[in-house]
Chains A and B, each alone.
Chain A
């Protein structure tokens, strides 16, 4: 019997991306972001999620996509980190929750740039297109690396 996963899918630029659905708490259209001055660019700011402060993450920056105006990202996916913090990933459009069988999974293609490859767990070959699964663990790790690095630089200066 084939195992399958539930995956929350979304669009970012021309990429079709997905996250394991169990990590996703909700999706929202809230785009009232308070910027945090001096924060690294991957952090777009902070948002109010029903009384909790969540951190808005600039996925473009993380995936080294061509620079786009952040406010164009009108949708966001709220995920929980291991520390039970909330992150809002800013995306273009939330698509669906798909139940995909593991047999369609394949490791990331070599053609992906090295920065992105670390964050992409692999690809699901769907009928119409390819779905890239984001590895949330490396995502958290990457963000914390960037924020720490920024801090160290500041100490040196």
Chain B
């Protein structure tokens, strides 16, 4: 029973490890294809396959063993330079990987390796193996390999810069062989003697971390090895060679992973010896036992010192390896027993981080370092832990708030302690869930490789910031959107080599992925140097699908057009490929990213490529929000949605909300911003004073609107909690959170609220003109935007706003006089003011000046419509503005006075339509009368 459990555990471990290794293999294969002779990659791939093969032989999965064996043979030949990798071979090997993965999954679910012997695949692999003789033998030397690579692979010839690793930042250095994890490594020396080269830079904190992990792992293996070695003395038959093999193999794998050559060599020699013993090719004897013991000491020294051995030790090392090799060949005649290495030889500190630990261990070679220990933990356990800590934080908040009322020093002290500990606990807890983004990125090179192959494109990937950490749940959430965007970039963005050459670009496209932290957020940037997004194509498609109107289309710039790709139902792929172009794509990406509190943006440079910028919070659970109050309740607005805050007090506040067709609007930088009154939408009582108006300008899915709240409170980081299923139908809430005082606040869903309030559809109809300050609605041919002002005796006069450049309020003190002409300074010039009553004949004879000034007396500011006449600004002074409306300008009645064209009906009331032409005539005459003076005496004030 125990054995069964043991077995199951071994299988589980084997599966987990193999699957992890396979993911890495995917990338290595892609790298290999670009650099087909790279010995290190080949060795690494070989080792992984070899170890899968070995273990499944041991576990009795024959079919899997057969497949991996066939693969291993080919890889072995490739590694030894007896075969040259070509595309077909690479594809077959990748198929082998997929098959192995599939089989592993079958083992996972059924416990057997399936029924399909995959004979075609095996045959194909065997075929490759048999072609060995037809190919020239190559030496293992990397330098010569590089030379041969040049002649054999045109891809490499085309790009003089070597593509080292798929995941590597390109370093502008001399050609060097590919290596994995090279971001963490310093450039490899070109020296042939690389036995001593130590690749990781211990000053790099990440590398130091890797090294610690490595040391811990190796020492663990070594302890295991030593333990299993012990009974050897008593009864040599009882030794568990398989266990020994696993342990030493583990060390070997670790060493090769971080490219610690000496250790790798030594452990692999020991491994061979053990394998020979296991397979009963040789029999155990005292010499072997002694040598093995010496090896253990050597290995320990090597691990402790991270392979940087003093020369003397190294010599011993080499001798030991030699002996091991001889022994494993069954040759017992060993000249001299090796002197156990003196590891206490003081070392020169070549690397700080590595050797500080090493030095302390040196003094006591017998004891092992207290290794940094790692355990595998169920993610659910961590999730639960994080939740509990979240609750603890809330409880802490309650207590700290409650204890504010107490004077007890002890209590306050204890609370402060609790406060600090909780914060630290929270941080530590969050850290447990952080993972580097490379866990997601690792899949990308394979995706790109397959895609590029099928689309006949050449793409290199350039990654930086692989170690950027973010919450595991976030990583899960962005996995699919990220893959989709990468696919898009390769499929739509990067052109075929022919097109690229024609456009004067490098035939090989570059896809770059960058990740970094900034301002408490994570940024992921995906950019390609492809064709970018064709604005016209997008526009036409959007128009065709009626996603936008013609007028909207005209007003859009390149970037705004590019944003359209995030709209549902827009696909521009000329033909639907099996990769992308089904029209469900970027909108889903956007929704998914926004769902996790993120934000995605696109920068489009037609002809030069496109860049997607994803902005994410560090963790899913905590988001920054803006707290507002409406009625008696507090609401949270996610910061990603809040763009601007507007607070208006007093008169300003009273007048700043205007009505268009009964819909409230606010003028923001000359554009009309639709307003949503939160109180009204949520049926809440309004409590704030009428005078002060507070607006949060929010945006969701290209819909920008102003949310009028009773009070804008403060920014708060909140923990998002889901609402009950029963409340899901209420789309205006995104969730809830618990505030410091223990009460619950609802989180507003800005997009949902827009939908509820109907701003969504409205804002699509009402395109806001960028430069003007009017809202155009083209429902009716004759419908125009007009300003309704009060005429002298309470009547209404409508002025068409078609030619207005600007609407500005001037202060009465700004008025200057030149004779009878009223002037104000405007845009570094002097602008004559014409009162509306100048062309509008008065009904009763009232002195004009008196009327105007009396109007301005109680109102310090007066509105002026600014027009441009013959290149000069002219201001039309209007009295009190009643409203801005869109109304039918069809004249329905005659007017009784000059200066008005006729009467129309606006808002159900009779309104005189101002004769704008009469005003223009007058304005022209005034401007013209100024003209000669201006040319005659520039800079002087203008006499009139």
Contacts and interface: CB of A to CB of B under 8 A. Distances in A.
Interface of A: 32, 34-39, 43, 45-48, 50-55, 81, 83, 85, 87, 143-144, 147-148, 150-151, 154
A48 B744 contact: yes
Contacts of A45: 744
A150 to B, nearest CB: 7
A51 B390 contact: yes
B752 to A, nearest CB: 11
Contact of A37 (B633, B723, B726): B633
Given A38-B682, A53-B723, A144-B725, 14 more contacts: A34-B633, A34-B736, A36-B733, A43-B727, A51-B390, A51-B394, A53-B721, A53-B744, A85-B724, A85-B725, A143-B726, A147-B726, A148-B729, A151-B730
B633 A147 contact: no
B743 A34 contact: yes
B744 A147 contact: no
B723 A46 contact: yes
B512 to A, nearest CB: 42
A133 B43 CA distance: 72
Contacts of A32: 742-744
Contact of A147 (B390, B394, B727, B745): B727
B683 interface: yes
Given A50-B391, A55-B724, A144-B725, A38 B743 contact: no
Contact of B726 (A35, A144, A154): A144
A56 B745 CA distance: 14
B736 A53 contact: yes
B608 to A, nearest CB: 45
B111 interface: no
5 contacts: A38-B682, A51-B395, A81-B725, A85-B725, A144-B726
Contacts of A39: 727, 730
B23 to A, nearest CB: 34
Contact of A48 (B387, B732, B743): B743
A53 B728 CA distance: 14
Contacts of A47: 744
Contact of B727 (A52, A55, A81): A55
B746 A36 contact: yes
Interface in B47-72: none
A53 B734 CA distance: 13
B815 interface: no
Closest 5 CB pairs of A and B: A51-B391, A151-B729, A37-B682, A34-B744, A55-B724
A46 B729 contact: no
Greatest chain B CB density within 10 A among A32, A45, A51, A83 is at A51
B242 interface: no
Contact of B684 (A37, A51, A148): A37
B248 to A, nearest CB: 49
A46 B756 CA distance: 21
Nearest to B387: A51
A81 B394 CA distance: 25
Given A43-B726, A53-B723, A55-B724, A48 B742 contact: yes
Interface in B699-732: 721-727, 729-730, 732
Of the four ranges (under 10, 10 to 19, 20 to 34, 35 or more), the interface on chain B belongs to 20 to 34
Nearest to A148: B729
B208 interface: no
A88 B733 CA distance: 20
A35 B742 CA distance: 15
A39 to B, nearest CB: 6
B732 A38 contact: yes
Contacts of B744: 32, 34, 45-48, 53
A130 B707 CA distance: 53
Interface in B872-926: none
Interface in B378-401: 387, 390-391, 394-395
B738 interface: yes
Contacts of B736: 34, 46, 53
A46 B746 contact: yes
Nearest to A57: B726
A69 B744 CA distance: 21
B738 A36 contact: no
A148 B726 CA distance: 8
Contacts of B682: 37-38
Contacts of B723: 46, 53, 55
A39 B726 CA distance: 9
A148 B729 CA distance: 7
Contacts of B730: 36, 38-39, 151
Contacts of A38: 682-683, 730, 732
Contact of B724 (A34, A48, A51, A53): A53
A48 B738 contact: yes
B707 to A, nearest CB: 14
Contacts of A144: 725-726
Nearest to A150: B729
B632 to A, nearest CB: 9
A143 B394 CA distance: 30
Contacts of A36: 727, 730, 733, 746
B721 A52 contact: yes
B761 to A, nearest CB: 13
B607 to A, nearest CB: 45
A37 B677 CA distance: 14
A57 to B, nearest CB: 9
Interface string B727-770: 10110110010100011111000000000100000000000000
A143 B728 CA distance: 12
A22 B859 CA distance: 72
A143 B725 CA distance: 10
B713 to A, nearest CB: 15
B687 to A, nearest CB: 14
Contacts of B725: 81, 83, 85, 144
A35 B633 contact: yes
A37 B731 CA distance: 12
A147 B738 contact: no
A55 B387 CA distance: 19
A55 B726 contact: yes
A144 B684 CA distance: 24
A58 to B, nearest CB: 12
B728 to A, nearest CB: 8
B742 to A, nearest CB: 6
Given A34-B745, A37-B683, A51 B738 contact: yes
Nearest to B630: A37
A30 to B, nearest CB: 9
A45 B730 CA distance: 13
A87 B684 CA distance: 24
Contacts of A55: 723-724, 726-727
Contacts of B746: 34, 36, 46
A23 B491 CA distance: 54
A6 B732 CA distance: 40
Contacts of B738: 48, 51, 53
Interface in B591-649: 631, 633
B402 to A, nearest CB: 14
A29 B586 CA distance: 49
A25 to B, nearest CB: 15
B310 to A, nearest CB: 58
A54 B726 CA distance: 11
A153 B53 CA distance: 64
A148 B728 CA distance: 9
A154 to B, nearest CB: 8
Nearest to B731: A151
Nearest to B733: A36
Contacts of B683: 37-38
A46 B733 CA distance: 12
For B395, B724, B736, B745, the residue with the greatest tally of chain A CB atoms inside 10 Å of its CB is B724
Which residue among A34, A36, A55 has the maximum number of chain B CB atoms within 10 Å of its CB? A36
Nearest to B390: A51
Contacts of A51: 387, 390-391, 394-395, 721, 738
Nearest to A52: B721
